[in-house]
């Protein structure tokens, strides 16, 4: 095991997969000469050259379409968005082309492509750069959605995503890039898509979440423990495919649940999770399933208002107390 940052874990995954498979290449804005906006691609240009680490123009629609065509031709592109907020300009290529091509070609065109970059809010980036974009991609059949919370998950899931033959939207937490954690040194370390991870075990309530909200959930669980409340913290890791069995196992154990997400509650990820729980585990519930999410407003720029809009451990604790009727 090595202790490395989330950023370094992603870098290792890219380098290892590019060494393993000459069909893998990276393309995006500033990924080559600048080593990546967040330095995830540091050193890759020097090792693999400009044919496999490709700086693109500021044209998300254009270079994403190029990547989809490359995947149709048998290559395995990794397309980096400087932020998924910019990827709205390219979503037609992701949803209307990549996601549907396998189906529309009767299986003749697998699309082994990864779209990756940060999602959600950082610090005072305001409304147009702070959107948690998961739900925009979840709604479409044909795209897998991956949201790692730790360095180990980032590496293992990115390697699995690159090897996958379907389009994958791989969404990273911008505030997680400097986070350190233990990561296996094995170059074949893979975390299968569609498998959740129980980050903390408890018996009183299930806190189900994904992405950087895992760390908010863990802080809340530590506060709850001081009051004698033991919380399961279930990190979904991938939102499509969804590990329904892990969700139901946790809820059937604790009989109470909340869903914590960074994005907006209205038609958010939590809406799907709550529907799944009530369809599959209704008789095990002792309280309604509650959701904790961003305030239903564009993200403010002002620091104090931004803090009020974001989900916090205190809001999670409040929701847990409600489902426990405390």
Mean pLDDT of 291-299: 97
Taking a C-beta distance cutoff of 8 angstroms, is the pair 208, 257 a contact? yes
Band (pLDDT 50/70/90 cuts) for residue 110 is: very high
Nearest one of 132, 31, 142 to 94, comparing CA atoms: 142
Average pLDDT over the chain, rounded to an integer: 97
CATH number at residue 119: 3.40.50.970
In a domain, 227, yes or no: yes
pTM of the predicted structure, to 2 decimals: 0.96
Q: How far apart are CA 187 and CA 139, in angstroms?
A: 33
Among candidates 200, 209, 205, 218, which has minimal Cα distance to 323? 205
Predicted local confidence at residue 248, as pLDDT: 98
> Which CA distances in Å does 74 have to 20, 95, 109, 206?
16, 19, 9, 43
Same domain, 236 and 158: no
> What is the total count of domains within the chain?
2
Could you tell me the maximum CA-CA distance found in the chain, to the nearest angstrom? Answer: 60
**Residue 192 falls within a domain, yes or no?**
no
Task: Say if residue 159 is in the same domain as residue 247.
Answer: no
Per-residue pLDDT at 5: 98
On whether residue 156 sits in a domain, the answer given is yes
Question: Which pair of tokens denotes residue 152?
Answer: 């180990």
Q: Are residues 101 and 179 in the same domain?
A: yes
Active site residues per annotation: 60, 129
Residues 160 and 283 in one domain: no
Strand-strand pairing, 180-183 and 2-5 = antiparallel
Query: Does residue 54 sit in the same domain as residue 101?
Result: yes
Residues 124 and 99 in one domain: yes
**What is the Rg, in whole angstroms, of the alpha carbon atoms belonging to the chain?**
20
Token readout for 182 is 């233990």
292 occurs within a structural domain:
yes
Interval 263-284: pLDDT, tens: 999 999 999 999 999 999 999 9
- Residue 219 has a pLDDT of 98
Q: What is the pLDDT of residues 213-265, one digit of tens each?
A: 999 999 999 999 999 999 999 999 999 999 999 999 999 999 999 999 999 99
Do 101 and 203 sit in the same domain of this protein? Answer: no
Shared domain check, 169 and 36? yes
CB-based contacts of 139: which residues, under 8 Å, 6+ apart?
none
174 and 242 housed in the same domain: no
| CATH number for 201 | 3.40.50.920
Residues 249, 227 within the same domain:
yes
**What residue numbers bound the domain in which 118 lies?**
2-183
Cis preceding linkage at 320, omega within 30 = no
pLDDT digits (tens, 9 = 90+) for 7-62: 999 999 999 999 999 999 999 999 999 999 999 999 999 999 999 999 999 999 99
Q: Is residue 189 part of a domain?
A: no
pLDDT at residue 236, rounded to an integer? 98
Neighbours of 88 (CB within 10 A): 15
Confidence grade of residue 81 (pLDDT, cut at 50, 70, 90): very high
Residues 110 and 201 in one domain: no
Alpha carbon distance 326, 311 (integer Å): 21
Enumerate residues 6+ apart whose C-beta is below 8 A from 7. 38, 39, 40, 177, 178
CB 102 within 8 A of CB 157: no
Dihedral angle sign, alpha carbons of residues 119, 122, 124, 125: negative
Closest by Cα among 173, 75, 42 to 117? 173
- 228 Rama class: left (phi>0) / alpha (psi -120 to 50) / beta: left
Two tokens, residue 51: 């044919």
Over residues 135-183, the pLDDT tens digits come to 999 999 999 999 999 999 999 999 999 999 999 999 999 999 999 999 9
Same domain flag for 39 and 125:
yes
């Amino acid at each position: 095991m090595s202790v490395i940052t989330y950023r370094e874990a992603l870098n290792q995954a890219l380098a290892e997969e590019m060494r393993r498979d000459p069909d893998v290449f990276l393309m995006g804005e500033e990924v080559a000469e600048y080593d990546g906006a967040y330095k995830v691609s540091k050193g890759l240009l020097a090792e693999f050259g400009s044919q496999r680490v490709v700086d693109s123009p500021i044209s998300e629609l254009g270079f994403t379409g190029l990547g989809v065509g490359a995947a149709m031709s048998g290559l395995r592109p990794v397309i980096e968005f400087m932020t998924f907020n910019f990827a709205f300009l390219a979503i037609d290529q992701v949803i209307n082309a990549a996601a549907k091509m396998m189906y529309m070609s009767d299986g003749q065109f697998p699309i082994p492509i990864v779209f990756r970059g940060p999602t959600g809010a950082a610090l005072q980036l305001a409304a147009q750069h702070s959107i948690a974009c998961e739900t925009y991609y979840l709604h479409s059949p044909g795209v897998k959605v991956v949201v790692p919370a730790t360095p180990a998950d980032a590496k293992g899931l990115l390697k699995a995503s690159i090897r996958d033959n379907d389009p994958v939207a791989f969404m990273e937490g911008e505030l997680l890039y400097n986070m350190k954690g233990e990561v296996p040194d094995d170059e074949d370390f893979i975390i299968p898509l569609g498998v959740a991870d129980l980050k903390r075990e408890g018996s009183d309530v299930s806190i189900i979440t994904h992405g950087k909200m895992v760390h908010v959930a863990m802080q809340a669980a530590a506060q709850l423990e001081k009051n004698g409340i033991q919380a399961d913290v279930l990190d979904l890791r991938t939102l499509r495919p969804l590990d329904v069995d892990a969700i139901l196992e946790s809820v059937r154990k604790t009989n109470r649940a909340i869903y914590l997400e960074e994005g907006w509650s209205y038609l958010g990820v939590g809406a799907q999770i709550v529907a799944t729980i009530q369809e599959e585990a209704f008789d095990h519930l002792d309280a309604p399933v509650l959701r904790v999410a961003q305030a239903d407003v564009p993200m403010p720029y002002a620091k104090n208002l931004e803090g009020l809009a974001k989900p916090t451990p205190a809001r999670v604790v409040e929701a847990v107390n409600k489902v426990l009727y405390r």
